[in-house]
Chain A
Amino acid sequence: MLRHLFTLIWNRKKSNFLLISEIFFSFLVLFGVLSFGLYNYHNYTKPLGFAYDNVWSLSLRSASDSMAQNLLVQDQLMQRVRSFPEVEHAAFSSDNTPFSFSTMNSPLSYGNVKNLHANMYEVEDNYKEVFQLDVPQGRWFGPQDKTSLHQPIVINRMLKEQLFGKEEALGKLLPVDSSHYQVVGVADYFRAGSEYGAEEPAFFTRINRETTEEPRTWGNLLLRLKPGTGVAFEAKMMKELGSIAKGWTMEVTTLEKMRQNKSKMTLVPLLALGLVCGFLVFNVALGLFGVLWYNINRRYSEIGLRRAIGASSGQIRNQFVGEVLVIATFGLLLGLLLAVQFPLLDVFQLSPVIYWQSIGLAAVLIFLLAAVCALYPSQQAAKIYPAVALHEE
């Protein structure tokens, strides 16, 4: 039966060519959009590794050229911020806070791994409390690091895997410029870019504001607030801080707002692509439906004859649905030839699982689409009375 169907379609490959190419292109479109969607979904299901609710980010740009003056203002700002009862924890950090648009990269080497680019976050000790980070191995920064010989760093799970593999990471020294980093702790997940971003290797270095060599001002003050603190406090805080840091540019925003902005960057294109893809597929479905309907009507006499020599209406229906599925299979096979190149050649460096999943999903969707479009016209064909059909002929 199945072989028979294949020969049937193969013999009419010329007249089915357009349908086959339509299926082929729809498959590719679905494959592309699904890969993009699944990639983001896979990332989304992984834990972020930090808590961002009730966290505010206060970005600071100093006004004066005098470093001594700026440092003084910076210390006063921190003191004042900590004295508010609404503020639970506060920490300075470099500009690349979670969900921000800036990144900092630094190459790390160890053993066979050379120049692994990892995200670098410069943070103060309180950063752990602000974001409620989890450090299962080793420890977070503490006052004992003030006097340590090497600059301490805390790395995330991903960096440990890529740099050390199965080896123990704690206590390892990593060369950097003229000195060394020493790994003091391994944090769990830390995906600070966006909820839809892939997990990347990252490490934290400690901000030491008491150091006398090369003092710096920091671009961001991160605050964890008591739940329910609102804009009234924000206005009051900004007014007071404004009187301390005269002429500085200050902007406060919630991490929640930043998260939404960042996820818009992924969701808007995804939504636009999804809409366009949905429209294309719907268009194809309508076309398929129309063409099948028409084709089946043309084969009126054939159906009548088959019915007259004893084919049941179920058999007729199955034959037509079968034919359509075979056409879909031809289109799919062509599409598959192209699509498998993606996981095999490792295009765009996505994990092959995502490609295989989207190939499978796209194939299922195409078959479903074809079957649904074929069902109604076939049903109509199956209802034809042999006498009427043969009489018309």
Chain B
Amino acid sequence: MLKNYIKIAWAVLQRRKFFTFISLFGISFTLMVLMVVTSLFDHVFGPQMPERETDRLLFVNMLKEETKEGYSSSGPPSYYFLDRYVKKLETPEKVSINSVFITVNSYVNNKKLALDLKHTDQTFWEILDFEFLEGRAISQQEVENSSHVAVINQHTRTQYFGAKEALGQPIEVNQVKYKVIGVVKDVSVLRLNSYADVWVPITLKRNEFKGPSLRGSFFAILQAKKGGSLTEMKEEYARMMTQVEPSNPKEKASLYSFPDTILETFARTLLGKGKDSNVAMFYSLISLAAFLFMLLPTINLVNINISRILERSSEIGVRKAFGASSWVIIGQFVVENVFLTLLGGVLGFLLAAGALALINDSGVIVYADLGLNLRVFAWGLLLCLVFGLISGVYPAFKMSRLHAVQALKGGSK
């Protein structure tokens, strides 16, 4: 039965090429855009190298001080705050402190390289899952001794050393020489917490460790114990925040700082004005945008489907006259439509792969490595089916109600 329907669908597709083109174009392009967006979303918020175990990681990027008069200032926290309060937390298994990356210049053979430099501790390399192409991570010993060693990314390696050996060679960044001990795969600039071109020991930034200011230029990454929950860490963090003494006790400032997942960090800065994370609202906004975006192609598809089905009214008439029920007819058209959408879906995937390759090559997002992974693929497939059902059910329903005689006469009003 199903095989028959699909055969009919194939024949119908070939009959009116222009209509088929319109339907397929609509489906595949809509899916392409949705796939590119989900892939971007996945790239920014999903588990990706080097933050692979996102369900065990929380990030501290912001601290906000607010005085009674309403004057507020916010920004990354200081080493003092992270070391004194966040490092002492008991629920996380590991806490890494690393600096916000800074852009510095390096000159090789009359060429300028703008490199992003990040200072990290040793835990950073344990928590995050970098892909090492050569060499190794910064060791505990090197952090303690503030050795001038550096891990660089692949891009910097080719730019600075070309085809020559990089491991063990000196690299001069911001007029300071470091010894290269490792080369890792490029990390996309959108992974704010781990991205850099050059990573060096945090102790080289020792002069910023002192002072009681709570605001500074450091991030922290918290890793939960295996099987431990993120909520527990958040609760302990909140309790800890009530104990923190403001840097200027005279001002009676209120302090806000939260450990967040990557998505929460983003939603908080975008919608929450720093206090609520508003992830639910963020999701609803995204769904609304996706719905509105899909509305037009869907209406369009329904419109075209109606015309196409109307053309086949005599066929429906004959089938009805031979005793087919409305449900059977609806079933046939739904199968046909799902078939068409899946076909469009396959095309959409190919187009999306092309579009992602274009984005990767264009350099709009530095070191972007957008790809179609299985999760994104599954989402696309689901969207395909929803799409096929929406655009198939209504016209099929409309047609199935035709009376046999009317249908045989050639159509509906």
* Chain A residues at the B interface, C-beta cutoff of 8 Å: 18-19, 21-22, 25-26, 29, 61, 63-65, 231-232, 234-235, 238-239, 242-243, 249-253, 264, 268, 276, 279-280, 283-284, 286-287, 289-291, 294-295, 298
Contact = CB atoms under 8 A, between A and B. Distances in A.
A21 B175 CA distance: 63
B207 A63 contact: yes
Contacts of A232: 110
A317 to B, nearest CB: 21
A61 B295 CA distance: 52
Given A251-B105, A279-B29, A295-B307, A287 B364 contact: no
Given A242-B175, A250-B174, A284 B104 contact: no
B69 to A, nearest CB: 12
A289 B306 CA distance: 14
B406 to A, nearest CB: 15
B303 A19 contact: yes
Interface in B295-325: 295-297, 299-304, 306-307, 310-311
A235 B303 contact: no
B5 interface: no
A291 B33 contact: no
Interface string B255-295: 00000000000000000000000000000000000000101
Interface of A is mostly: helix
Contacts of A61: 102
B144 to A, nearest CB: 20
Contacts of A18: 299, 302-303, 306
A284 B297 CA distance: 7
A302 to B, nearest CB: 13
A284 B112 contact: no
A289 B18 CA distance: 10
Interface of B: 18-19, 21-22, 25-26, 29-30, 33, 102-105, 107, 110-112, 114, 174-175, 207, 210, 293, 295-297, 299-304, 306-307, 310-311, 364, 411
Given A249-B104, A251-B102, A283-B29, A290 B299 contact: no
Given A18-B299, A239-B175, 17 more contacts: A22-B296, A22-B303, A64-B207, A231-B112, A235-B107, A238-B107, A242-B175, A249-B102, A249-B174, A276-B33, A276-B293, A283-B26, A287-B300, A289-B22, A291-B307, A294-B311, A295-B307
Which of A22, A287, A291 gathers the greatest number of chain B CB atoms within 10 Å?
Answer: A287
A64 B411 CA distance: 87
Contacts of B311: 294
A219 to B, nearest CB: 12
A252 B105 contact: yes
B411 A283 contact: no
B104 A286 contact: no
Contacts of B29: 279, 283
B295 A25 contact: yes
Which of B26, B303, B310 gathers the greatest number of chain A CB atoms within 10 Å?
Answer: B303
Which of B22, B25, B29, B296 gathers the greatest number of chain A CB atoms within 10 Å?
Answer: B296
A21 B299 contact: yes
Contacts of B210: 65
B107 A294 contact: no
A333 to B, nearest CB: 18
Contact of A235 (B112, B307, B310): B112
A284 B33 contact: no
Contacts of B364: 264, 268
Nearest to A283: B26
